[in-house]
Amino acid sequence: MTRVKKKNRALIFLLAAGLGLATAPGCDRYARHAVLTFFFTGVPPLGEEKKPAQKAVKAVEAAKERKMRVTFKATVFSHGPFASGECDQCHETSETAGFRGMGTNETAPETKKASVTGRLVSPLQELCSTCHTSKSAKHAHKEGLRMHGPVGSGNCTFCHSPHSSPQQYALLKKPDELCVQCHPERLLFNRKAHIGYRDCLSCHNAHLGKSSLLLKNDYHEVM
């Protein structure tokens, strides 16, 4: 029993000495690895000791990235009749032809002889105000309001797409990009009231107003 105890003590001493060497500050990685592989099995090869930890860190980072990642879908704003497939609200259509009025006036139905460019059911100057009555000249006159130039001339498609657009209200461009097509940018944004502001619709109505400035403080139109 004494001999066994001495043998066990020797093994314990060797093990402690080996672990001491393996963890000693001055011991290089190769010596430390040699000591560990001598006393233990399953020690990973040199250079792979940190891989499991690195993989775990990368997995956590990837999970965080997936959680924070936001997928944006393209948004399209469509005109009501176009979105619902009711093309005949604006265009002359039929079951037998893409558009009615493609023949001569003699063969076309009596009510369709007044076809206009684009095969619209009525002139553009009248068509939009059929549904958008609050933007009509009749409404403006009744309320004593001033009209924005394109609205007054019935040229709604100067600013709006009749079908769809990635811009809100089916605008052809962003509001400030549209405005500078008529209002010179070098004069518009050099004014004291406009310095630092490029969102025209934050202060101005797009269609109607109490004065030619179309200020929202004077009259706030319903879009």
Task: List the domain range (segments joined by +) for residue 89.
Answer: 77-209
- What single letter denotes the amino acid at residue 201? L
Could you tell me which of 206, 199, 201 has the C-alpha nearest to residue 147?
206
Asked, for residue 12, whether it belongs to a domain, the answer is yes
160 and 114 inside one domain: yes
Answer with the one of 49, 68, 87 that is the final residue of a domain. Answer: 68
Answer with the one of 36, 68, 100 that is the final residue of a domain. Answer: 68
Answer with the one of 68, 85, 107 that is the final residue of a domain. Answer: 68
Cα(169)–Cα(29) distance, rounded to whole angstroms?
A: 68
Q: What's residue 100's pLDDT? A: 46
**pLDDT digit string, tens, across residues 1-43:** 555 555 555 555 555 555 555 555 545 666 776 766 766 666 6
Number of domains in the chain: 2
**Which residues, at least 6 apart from 119, have a Cβ–Cβ distance to it below 8 Å?**
91, 92, 99, 100, 101, 102
Helix (H) or strand (E) holding 80: helix 80-83
**pLDDT digit string, tens, across residues 167-180:** 989 999 998 889 88
Report the percentage of the chain scoring pLDDT > 90: 26
Query: Which range has the worst mean pLDDT, 25-34, 49-58, 103-112?
Result: 103-112
User: Averaging pLDDT over each range in 1-15, 17-31, 74-88, 108-122, which range is the top one?
Assistant: 74-88
Q: What's residue 160's pLDDT? A: 92
Asked, for residue 218, whether it belongs to a domain, the answer is no
The pTM of the full predicted model, rounded to 2 decimals, is: 0.56
194 and 134 inside one domain: yes
53 and 127 inside one domain: no
Q: What integer is the mean pLDDT of 146-167? A: 92
Asked, for residue 221, whether it belongs to a domain, the answer is no
Asked, for residue 220, whether it belongs to a domain, the answer is no
